[in-house]
Structure 1
Amino acid sequence: MRRTFLTCALATVAAAMAPPVRAQASPYPTRPVHFIVPASAGGPGDVIARLFAEPLGRALGQPVIVDNKPGASLTLGTAAVAQAQPDGYTLLFTTSTPIVMVPFTMKKAPYDVQRDLMPVAHLGSTALVLYVNASSAIHDVKQLVTAARSQPQAANYGSYGNGSSAHVLGEMLNRQTQLSMVHVPYKGVAPELQDLVAGNLMAAVADIGTAAPLVKAGRIRPVAVTGTKRASALPDVPTFAEQGISGMEPFSPWWGVFAPAQTPQPIVNQLSVELSKLVRQPEMQARLFALGIDATGTTSSQAAEITRAEIAKWQSIIRSVSYINFE
């Protein structure tokens, strides 16, 4: 009895002196991850999100599901992520518009980017393009200006939403050429281009990838691209600057992934690493190039730096067209 008591007592003391065993954190992810795309299905954001979703799901060991939440100038889906649980299961896959532009074009955006969202990765950027219906006589910006002045009742242009980069570009084109083309906003690029094909728009501003099938089919014609040099996917289309229109160089929307603020940094880092690996794959780069996108791929800290710089840049640009009634 005495020996048994001493053995138990020593075991108790040893257990008390042993270092505590820390509970192991649950591995991430243990269930499906959701990409919230704040734009309609078929648009560039949706297409690119689906391009990344399947291989990212394989890398994570759980499905990545794309959920489209369009509306309210891309703020509906963006706000949904900003208000989501910061657990890494609800992510924003978006173009730069609701991140760096809408906060300055909307009187009261339903989120604060720097307070409510965490950058995960910057994936790539693309030029914007000014398109016309292929049956029109317009082949360059000068001819567009002439047509808009001679047919003021038909002088309009489409964009993929109020406060979007396409909207701001259109208004800067109006200012630079002293035109008064009427802005016609759409809930996404696809319906905008459909109306251009139908002849309801004199011009439209959109990305390269979404419009590519219509360009190849001879339904619409690109007449100018943004940026400091011609787009590699449209080498025969001159820049706005080449056609005497300055100030269009910064208009290069980019795509990125964001998480709700307070998402654990290890989860953000894991996602950033996997997305960067995907961007560096030759097959992915080729598919992005086909969509007119110059691939980047960054760490979360690099994505944060890019986001801060872009916010400052677009705040300045939008102030220069502050006369626009965005919302």
Structure 2
Amino acid sequence: MNRRILLLLGLAFGAAAPAHAQSAYPVKPIKMIVPANAGGPSDVVARLVGEGLTKALGQTVVVENKPGAAQTLGTAQVAKADPDGYTLLFTTSTPIVMAPFTRKNLPYDVRKDLIAVSHVGTTPLVLYANTTVPVKSVRELVAAAKAKPGELSYGSYGNGSSAHLLGEYLSKQADIKLIHVPYAGVSPQITALVGGQIQFAVADIGVPAPFVKDGKLRPLAVSGNHRSGSLPDVPTFAEQGVTGMEPFSPWWGLFAPAGTPKAIVDKLSAETVKIVKSPEFKARFAVFGADATGMDAAASAAAMNDELARWTKVFSELPNISFE
């Protein structure tokens, strides 16, 4: 009889152990994979979120950069990781809502292999010109491209990135031919633009800002429905006669491997939302010309699905574009 009681007690404690371990999460450092180069916008924003989570959770959040394959290399690593809450993904929207359309044999399924934890923020894209190029507006760029078809080049931060898509969609809408030059991140792309290796580039607001201030780069247009508060004198594409460019505004988000316990996802989501909505984070985030959103897990998943539907339409209008 005593042996049977001990056995039942053992089973009861064994069944309770996972729940207890889950409620105690985290009990060790957390790795946050960033599928982009160190020093770029994604890396900087990830470290801001990581700092906040470290304080909130009482465990160190270690940011690990894993660039490559248009941000899909690091994303695939998280998609295949143990769903225990100790390997997370901080990324732009590129490997989440664009890679399914731009990459062949993608080593993960966004809907099946990843869980949205929090939508952190969004930022407009900007079309820049090297100031040695005599182009001061989108209309002038279109005129120059038509005068010299196939001679003008623009840079992006990778094949299949938001920047690449904006450049190709601009070419389609304006009926021009621009040569696309992909780079492994925003920083090398802007370095090439400043150095004159390319004439134009599509990037965010933060990294190019010092060069704009020094007069080496000229912003020509911003994506979105309205002008950016960081570049109030720069008109949108629509203001310059090019329609359909409004959706091209990338976002950042935090993800976990599918199968991660809901209690862990909810905890990470709640803490991330608090961080993103704090005045300190918003102030530092604004340096990138970005708007903090701070959506919880459910709202983030809905936003991701909406984005996938939107990009399905965009890519249907670019049937002959090769991204690899």
TM range (shorter): over 0.9
- Per the TM alignment, residue 102 of structure 1 is displaced from its structure 2 partner at its CA by 0.9
Distance, in Å, in 2 between the alignment partners of 1:17 and 1:177 is 74
Q: Determine whether 1:77 maps to 2:57.
A: no
Unaligned runs of 5+ in 2: none
Q: Which residue of 2 aligns with 1:5?
A: none
Query: Relative to structure 1, is the Cα distance of residues 14 and 323 closer, same or farther in structure 2, using a 3 angstrom cutoff?
Result: closer
Distance, in Å, in 1 between the alignment partners of 2:6 and 2:179 is 78
Distance, in Å, in 1 between the alignment partners of 2:194 and 2:118 is 35
Q: Which residue of 2 aligns with 1:268?
A: 265
- Provide the aligned C-alpha RMSD in A: 2.0
- Per the TM alignment, residue 17 of structure 1 is displaced from its structure 2 partner at its CA by 10
- Per the TM alignment, residue 202 of structure 1 is displaced from its structure 2 partner at its CA by 1.4
Distance, in Å, in 2 between the alignment partners of 1:214 and 1:312 is 36
Distance, in Å, in 2 between the alignment partners of 1:14 and 1:173 is 73
SS in 2 for 1:210: coil
Q: Which residue of 1 aligns with 2:119?
A: 122
- Per the TM alignment, residue 15 of structure 1 is displaced from its structure 2 partner at its CA by 8.5
SS in 2 for 1:31: coil
SS in 1 for 2:294: coil
Q: Which moved more, 1:174-183 or 1:211-220?
A: 211-220
Select the structure of larger CA radius of gyration.
1
Corresponding pairs, count: 318
Q: Name the aligned partner's letter for residue 78 of structure 1.
A: T
Distance, in Å, in 1 between the alignment partners of 2:252 and 2:122 is 6
Q: Determine whether 1:186 maps to 2:177.
A: no
Q: Determine whether 1:236 maps to 2:233.
A: yes
Q: Determine whether 1:35 maps to 2:32.
A: yes
252, 255, 261: which one pairs with 1:255?
A: 252
Q: Which residue of 2 aligns with 1:25?
A: 20
Q: Which residue of 1 aligns with 2:290?
A: 293
Q: Which residue of 2 aligns with 1:279?
A: 276
Unaligned runs of 5+ in 1: 1-8
Distance, in Å, in 2 between the alignment partners of 1:110 and 1:153 is 34
Q: Determine whether 1:113 maps to 2:110.
A: yes
Q: Normalising by structure 2, what TM-score?
A: 0.93
Q: Name the aligned partner's letter for residue 104 of structure 2.
A: K
Q: Deviations over 1:209-256 (max 9, x none)?
A: 122222122221111000111011111100000000001000110100
Q: Deviations over 1:232-287 (max 9, x none)?
A: 11111000000000010001101000000000111100100000001111111111
Q: Is the 8 A contact 2:150 2:178 kept in 1?
A: no
- Per the TM alignment, residue 298 of structure 1 is displaced from its structure 2 partner at its CA by 1.2
Q: Deviations over 1:52-76 (max 9, x none)?
A: 1112111110111111111111110
Q: Is the 8 A contact 2:30 2:59 kept in 1?
A: yes
Q: Percent identity?
A: 54
54, 58, 61: which one pairs with 1:61?
A: 58
